[in-house]
Amino acid sequence: MAFIELDNVSKVFGQAEYATVALKQVTIRMDKGEFVSIMGPSGSGKSTLLNIMGCMDIPSEGEYRLNGTLIQKLNDRELSQIRNKTVSFVFQNFALMHNFSVYENVALPLFKRKMSLKEKKEKVDYYLHKLGIADLSDKNVSKLSGGQKQRVAIARAMTAEAELILADEPTGALDQKNGAQLMELLCQMNEEGKSIVVITHDEKIAGYTKRIINIVDGVITEDRKKER
């Protein structure tokens, strides 16, 4: 059983003559520990695919199974639980809560975990140290540079200790140096056993991954595995 199974998944936005098909019968299988990049031009359906993989959206047709669980059958609470425990996200815009501190942002996935405040603090501090941003803990995230913000977003993803990391154009708002550092971090997380899906249109970024899926107009045009 694959970790991620998308069978003939389609996604349509709008209705009747206003309907826009974002994905057309997409089938993907991904095992645990894979490092995959999804490439394609703007509007090709990459982000829609990522939203479905991350349980932020559900397919219009087809089936999506994550770790054997049929996602369409889940309610809001169960989907939230998956987003909290199984999947973590890294976005191009960092998706941080402005006007909140670095600590508050990184601790976010622990919101509903049954842990004492002390345990939560220890965990957050551990990942802040690991990413070298412990000294920024009390700083407001809106005061950070792009590179620092993305580290906070990575720290948050790590704190969740989820098996699957979904990164949507993670280096899009970073300079080359910070982008490379971020990809190194993702590689390191993959080596530690995490499954990672990166959406990008940058060949260089895709070069860090072990499998590249190309998507054009909502259809998978290429799916190739390679050695780094």
Partner 1 sequence: MEHLSIAISSMWKRKLSVFLMMTQLVLSFWVMNHAFISMDVVHYQEKKLFAVMQMDKDTTLRLSFADVDDTEWFAERFSHLENFIKQTPGVQRYGSFDTTSITPENLPNQRAFLEQNKKQYAGTRLENAIENSKIVFLDKGIYSYAKFKIINGRPLGEADFTKKDGDVIPVLIGYNYRDVINLGDRFETIIHEKKIVYEVVGVLEQRSEWLSGNDYIADPVDNLDNFFLAPFFPIVRESEPMDVAVRMHNTFIQLDSAEMFNQVSAAILEKGRELGINPTLATVGDELQAYRENRKQVSNFSLFMGMFFLVISIIGIVSVTLSSIHARKHELGVRMVAGATKRDISMIILMELVWIVTVSAVSGVMLNYVTEAFEDSSVANIKLEMFAFPLYGKVMLVSILVILSSVFIPLLRIKKLQLRELVGGRD
Q: Does the footprint of partner 1 cover residue 95 (CB under 8 A)? A: yes
User: Rule CB under 8 A: which of 59-78 touch partner 1?
Assistant: 76-77
Give least dist CB 84 to partner 1, A: 2
Contacting partner 1 within 189-218 (CB under 8 A): none
Q: Which of 160, 196, 213, 220 binds partner 1 (CB under 8 A)?
A: 160
Nearer to partner 1, 156 or 211 (CB): 156
Contact between 161 and partner 1 per CB under 8 A: no
| DSSP class per residue in the chain | --SEEEEEEEEEES-GGG-EEEEEEEEEEE-TT-EEEEE--TTSSHHHHHHHHTTSS--SEEEEEETTEEGGG--HHHHHHHHHHTEEEEETTTT--TTSBHHHHHTGGGTTS---HHHHHHHHHHHHHHTT-GGGTTSBGGGS-HHHHHHHHHHHHHHHT-SEEEEESTTTTS-HHHHHHHHHHHHHHHHTT-EEEEEES-HHHHTTSSEEEEEETTEEEEEEE---
- Of the residues 3, 35, 64, 91, which one makes contact with partner 1 according to CB under 8 A: 91
- Total residues in contact with partner 1, by rule CB under 8 A: 33
Q: Is 111 in the site for partner 1 (CB under 8 A)?
A: yes
104 scored as a contact of partner 1 (CB under 8 A): yes
| CB of residue 105 to partner 1, shortest distance in Å | 8
User: Which residues, 163 to 182, sit near partner 1 by CB under 8 A?
Assistant: 168, 172-173
The least distance separating partner 1 from the CB of residue 167, rounded to whole angstroms, comes to: 12
Long-range contacts (CB closer than 8 Å, 24 or more residues apart) made by 133-137? 133/102, 136/102, 137/101, 137/102, 137/103
Interaction between residue 143 and partner 1 (CB under 8 A): no
Site for partner 1 contains 97 (CB under 8 A): yes
Which of these, 220, 226, 157, 167, lies nearest to 6 by C-alpha position? 220
Contact flag: residue 145 with partner 1 (CB under 8 A): no
Q: CA nearest 89: which of 77, 105, 65?
A: 105
Taking contact as CB under 8 A, which single stretch among the options 2-10, 25-33, 95-103, 219-227 is the one that binds partner 1? 95-103
Query: Which residue in the set 64, 94, 127, 208 belongs to the binding site for partner 1 (CB under 8 A)?
Result: 94
> Which residue do the tokens 């595995």 mark?
225
Residues near partner 1 (CB under 8 A) are: 47, 51, 54, 56-57, 76-77, 80-81, 83-85, 89, 91-100, 104, 108-109, 111-112, 156, 160, 168, 172-173
